[in-house]
Structure 1
Amino acid sequence: MTRRGPLLLGIDLGTQSAKVVVHDSTGGVVAQGRRALRPLARPVPGVAEHPDDDLWDATAAACREAVSGLGDARGDIAAVGLCGVRFCRALVGSDGRLSAPVMSWMDERVSRPHDPVREAATVCAASGHLTRRLTGETRDAAGSCRGQWPVDTDRWDWSRDDEVVASYGLRRAQLPTLVAPGAVLGTVTTEAAGATGLPAGVPVVATSNDKAVEALGAGLREPEDVLLSLGTYVAAMVTGERDRPELTASWTNFGSEPGRYLHESHGVRQGMGTVTWLSALVGPSLGAGDGSWEERLEVEAARVPPGAEGLLTVPDWLAPPDEPHRRGAFVGLDARHGAGHLHRSLLEGLAMTMGDHVAAMARELERPLRRVLLTGGGARSAVMRQVVADVTGLPVHVGDATDSAAGRGAAICAGVGTGVFAGFAEAVAAMVPRTAPTSPDPARHETYQRLGGALRGLRAALGPSLREAQGALGEVRP
């Protein structure tokens, strides 16, 4: 195993899996572990829970896999960077264990007070729950507490106003201590070492919310770069200098460096999760062959011309809370279309939808853009990289698409927090790779500009019919 410097382990807990990546100080990947999360429990509409203590169980298993790949180098782990999926809510009892299943960011209860929250000893983000399991400390990353939390966005700490805290259905005593990115949350306990394989006593370092940590791991630091994150939730981000609550085409998120912010566009819920759903649905139609369904669909999609021979996809498989009537749709099907057309059209629908969101954000911020940094599972797709370049008209850059950008960002925070690097700029320069760009094709860019207009019109036109259909079936919720 060739490596340089101490080892930095990054934990990337997402919506669909827990990923653990061990890097050396040059950004080289030394070992990895991954464990899929169990399907969300959805007992009634609006509820989406992670069953049992699945977030911890998957994280511990992914850690064991990664650490086992280190062999005798296990003792060279200098620090652990901890990144958790954002907007989840964990209710923790006085014994440090969950008093109820963790609510996913898709759970509508996250945004409103309800009785179990009032009964919990501690209420925290997913990262706060993992911090307690790893270190025994009641602490959380400040950058994880954006959105439905009573946080002062200028100070990166809880609001000093008790009435503000109470308005979220919380008591101040329930809130964990917030820690800045790059600061130590605690050290791995003996109990956690037994569950994860990590050495006891290793520092666990705070990062931020998963999208922000992903941006750090992709090297998003220049104002004219835009990051497109192709995960379960697809979103685009640019750098910011302060909170901008007046913005409408984007909102301001905490970054992964103290005092730094990100402006984040509107996004697509269940974005790459829809790609996974489609591959499972139509993959068997390809018959026996080499490779996974995803790999074979990629080959089929590459054979389909831009525009998928007239097939348009509205990628609204999970409606936004303020427009519950929205649904996904394939429109324009005829006898020419097969699995590759469906796959390509879905990728195009995601790219064109996000192209509109990126353009709106850039206009509002008066921000010229010069390149796209692509991350997430979708960045592994050569078809998607080319479609994004052609839709946006910008060159597309990826880092190492075989690993986790959020895991790399978490490792960067771990290196800064334990003195391996003097600061974030030095760490990013040392650890973030960059491959040759995928360049846009001007003719295809023009085609997608026209198709984008058709897709916008289609989404608007579908609204009344979807409302009527759901009303007839009694499915519309307030």
Structure 2
Amino acid sequence: MALNAVLGVDIGTSSSKGVLVALDGTVLRSAVREHVVDRPAPGQVEMDAAVWWEEFVSLSRELTTGAEADVVAVGLSGMGPCVLLTDADDTPLRPAVLYGVDTRSVEQIARLNEELGAEEIRRRCGSELSSQAAGAKVAWIADEEPELFARARRLYMASSWLVRKLTGAYVLDHHSASQATPLYDTEARRWYAPWADRIAPGIELPPLRWSGEAAGTVTAEAARSTGLPHGIPVITGTVDAWAEALSVGAHRPGDLMLMYGTTMFLVHTVRGLLTHPALWSTVGALPDTRNLAGGMATSGAVTGWLRELFGNPGYPELLRLAEDSGPGANGLLMLPYFAGERTPVMDPLARGVIAGLTLSHTRGDLYRAALEATAYAVRHNIEVLEKAGGDIRRVVAVGGGTQGGLWTRIVSDVTGRPQELRATSIGACYGGALLAAQLVTDASIDAWNPLRETVTPHPEATARYDELYGLYRDLYPASAEVAHALAARQNR
């Protein structure tokens, strides 16, 4: 007799991942499809939505064909917030504009702050306008591509586009909407019509649901394409980092999730509405939850860049070399702002810096410096989270960067905080699978994904990193003017 199972798929920045999971949480199969984003101009990061659907279909086919399991529900998540505009026939009008790694909307942010009031935006929406704000990117398309924008009728993100293709439903989850600043009222938990009508005229904004609610069921056409059973439910889905937090049980007040991926993301669950100009305040993926969140523009993207420069050695080899380098990377210090920086710097024109280079430095030193730079940025974000009123009681790590052990150990040493690692660290696709399972059973993440180990800081290393962290904090203001001048040259 075949098992009942759920399918979870996440559309990420550098890959799409899928899992087939039994209703007790056992991973039966997993698969990955790697892809690259498009960078048509400095500061612009896009992706063709056709790739999202093609990779979903491919993953679904691979994971279900020949499996001794009956898929009974589908879970989804995706990078976000993104802006995918379609016409009235749901034909995409242009590639999707991606989340905060895309920094094109600087002028629109300045204009909207002046027209609507920066403080009023933060009061109503929970966050200030930044490169993360989807609403500002809608405004960019309206300004820069007016003929195209005049044909726009609907707004999608990665997960909601898959929902549309699978079920025909036009919906978006509350959490994703709360990152569409300034279109969403975070206290009222609905679209804010006066600003939506002003910024997105003619666009029918999607009805809102919670991430784990059923958006609809798989249509006959989608069933033929994907191999999934006709009529099974599909969740509404959410942004990948929030699904990732659910995948490791980091969704209770006091929890902080660290997502080690192409970018580093931090999601702190709080009891009430908290705001800070250098963070994002959002509604949570689950009803009656709220979050303070932060995100770096690069983390794993920098280590991947270094790996490519080094001739693509294996990551185990690079980790071994970084281990040999030791704390402090033999006097190297890096700012990981290779694509600008999101929180808490909020500077799209920031740039990467490697300070202290000599002819004696090695690949291991550079790789170690990149890992340490991410850890310093995590500490910076944590300090601002707590300054904003956050109460961090537990840190849970997840994502591909947790493999190998060195990166998580460096982060614990730099921050002085232990990190929990769960048995399964597949990430957002597993969180989506959990939400799908909860449509048909009483699945819980503690039963699905128990604690595997706790990474604890080493006091001697922490003391050494305290001094280096001070130098890290000094390096950005000391180099920002030069970085901005160089960024201006790059953007010409």
Compute the TM-score of the two structures, normalised by the length of structure 2.
0.85
Shift of 1:468: 4.2
Alignment-derived partner of residue 55 in structure 1: 52
How far is the alpha carbon of 1:366 from its aligned partner?
5.3
| Counterpart residue number, 1:279 | 307
1:103 CA drift (Å): 1.7
CA distance in 2, matches of 1:279, 1:317: 15
Whether the 8 Å contact between 1:6 and 1:24 is mirrored in structure 2 is yes
Residue of structure 2 equivalent to 1:409: 431
* 1:353-392 matches, cutoff 5 A: 353-365=377-389, 367=391, 369-392=392-415
Match for residue 152 of structure 1?
A: 185
Cα RMSD (Å): 2.3
Q: Shift of residue 328 of structure 1?
A: 0.7
Paired residue type of 2:190: D
Q: 1:117 to 1:360 in 2, by over 3 A?
A: same
Partner residue of 1:323?
347
Question: Does the 8 Å CA contact 1:312/1:330 hold for their aligned counterparts?
Answer: yes
Letter of the 1:151 counterpart: Y
SS at match of 2:37: coil
CA contact (8 A) 1:35 1:59 kept: no
> Residue 336 of structure 1 corresponds to which residue in structure 2?
360
Structure 2 residue corresponding to 1:87, chosen from 81, 85, 93: 81
Q: Which of 91, 94, 99 is the equivalent residue of 1:97?
A: 91
Aligned-pair distance for 1:351?
Answer: 0.5
| Range moving further from structure 2, 195-204 or 103-112 | 103-112
Task: Give the counterpart letter for 1:189 in structure 2.
Answer: T
Structure 1 228/366 Cα, relative in aligned 2: closer, same or farther at 3 Å? closer
Counterpart of 2:29 (choices 28, 31, 34) is 31
Instruction: Note if contact 1:380-1:401 (Cα within 8 Å) is conserved in structure 2.
Output: no
CA distance in 2, matches of 1:402, 1:152: 33
Deviates more, 1:97-106 or 1:433-442: 97-106
2:456 aligned with 1:435: no
Q: Are residues 1:259 and 2:276 paired?
A: no
Deviation for aligned residue 1:219: 0.7
Residues 431 and 333 (structure 1), Cα distance of their counterparts in 2 relative to 1, 3 Å cut: same
- Please tell me whether residue 420 in structure 1 is matched to residue 441 in structure 2: yes
Q: Secondary structure at the match of 2:384?
A: helix
Return closer, same or farther for 1:95/1:256 CA change in 2, 3 Å cut-off: same
Residue 71 of structure 1 aligns to a residue whose secondary structure is coil
Match in the other structure for 1:120: 152
- The 1:244/1:300 distance shift into structure 2, 3 A limit, reads same
SS at match of 2:452: coil
- CA shift, 1:79, in A, is 0.7
Asked if structure 2 preserves the Cα contact closer than 8 Å seen for 1:212 and 1:254, the reply is no
Q: Conserved in 2, the CA contact under 8 Å of 1:11 and 1:81?
A: yes
Match of 2:62 in 1: 65
Q: Which residue of 1 aligns with 2:474?
A: 457
Cα deviation for residue 476 of structure 1 reads: 5.7
- Deviation, structure 1 residue 434: 1.6
Q: Retained in 2: the 8 A contact 1:143–1:207?
A: no
Change in Cα spacing, 1:468 to 1:248, as seen in structure 2 (3 Å) is: closer
- What is the percentage of aligned positions where both structures have the same residue? 29
1:155 Cα deviation from its structure 2 partner: 4.1
Post-superposition shift, 1:94?
2.8
Query: Are 1:8 and 2:6 an aligned pair?
Result: yes
User: Is the contact between residue 263 and residue 297 of structure 2 (CA under 8 Å) also seen in structure 1?
Assistant: yes
Note if contact 1:96-1:136 (Cα within 8 Å) is conserved in structure 2: no
1:60 positional shift: 1.8
> How far off is 1:52 after superposition?
6.0
TM-score calculated relative to the size of structure 1:
0.88
1:121, distance to aligned residue in structure 2 (A): 2.5
Question: Do the aligned residues in 1 keep the contact of 2:350 with 2:487 (CA within 8 Å)?
Answer: no
Q: Which letter maps to 2:464?
A: T
Match of 1:169 in 2: 200
Q: 1:475 to 1:221 in 2, by over 3 A?
A: closer
Shift of 1:216: 1.1
Opposite residue 26 of structure 2, the aligned amino acid is G
Aligned pair 1:397/2:420, yes or no? yes
Asked if residue 201 in structure 1 is aligned to residue 223 in structure 2, the reply is no
Q: Which amino acid aligns with 2:185?
A: D
Check the 8 A contact 1:135/1:192 in 2, yes or no: yes
Task: Report how far residue 320 of structure 1 moved.
Answer: 3.6
SS at match of 1:435: strand
Structure-1 separation of matches of 2:235 and 2:19:
15
**SS of structure 2 residue aligned to 1:47:** coil
2:14/2:34 contact within 8 Å kept: yes
Structure 1 residues 221, 48: CA separation in 2 closer, same or farther (over 3 Å shift)?
Answer: closer
Q: Any conservation in 1 of the 2:14–2:37 contact (CA below 8 Å)? A: no
Letter in 2 for 1:138: Y
Aligned to 2:463: 446
Of residues 266, 291, 303, the one that matches 2:324 is: 303
For residue 250 of structure 1, report the CA deviation from its aligned partner: 2.8
Q: 1:19: which partner in 2?
A: 17
Answer whether contact 1:326 1:466 (CA < 8 A) is retained.
yes
- How many Å separate the matches in 1 of 2:61 and 2:451? 29
Segments of structure 1 that go 5 or more residues without pairing to the other structure are: 285-291
Report the Cα offset of residue 340 of structure 1: 1.3
Report the 3-state secondary structure (helix = DSSP H, G, I; strand = E; otherwise coil) of the residue aligned with 2:451: coil
Contact 2:270 2:390 in 1 (8 A): no
Partners of 1:354 and 1:313 in 2: CA distance: 14
Q: Deviations over 1:1-43 (max 9, x none)?
A: 9x9x631221111111111112223322111121112x32233
* C-alpha distance in 2 between matches for 1:26 and 1:128: 27
Give a deviation string over 1:36-88, Cα, whole Å, max 9, x none: 12x322333343221361121122222222223x5232xx2121111121111
For the 8 Å contact 1:34–1:65, the answer to whether it is kept is no
Q: Secondary structure at the match of 1:239?
A: strand
Instruction: Give the whole-Å Cα distance in 2 for the aligned partners of 1:469 and 1:249.
Output: 24
* Cα distance in structure 2, aligned partners of 1:470 and 1:18: 31
Q: 1:401 to 1:381 in 2, by over 3 A?
A: farther
CA deviation vs aligned residue, 1:393-425 (integer Å, no higher than 9, x gap): 12121224552x211211121122x2311xxxx
Q: Is the 8 A contact 2:322 2:364 kept in 1?
A: yes
Q: Counterparts of 2:76 and 2:52 in 1: how far apart (Å)? A: 13
Equivalenced residues, count: 450
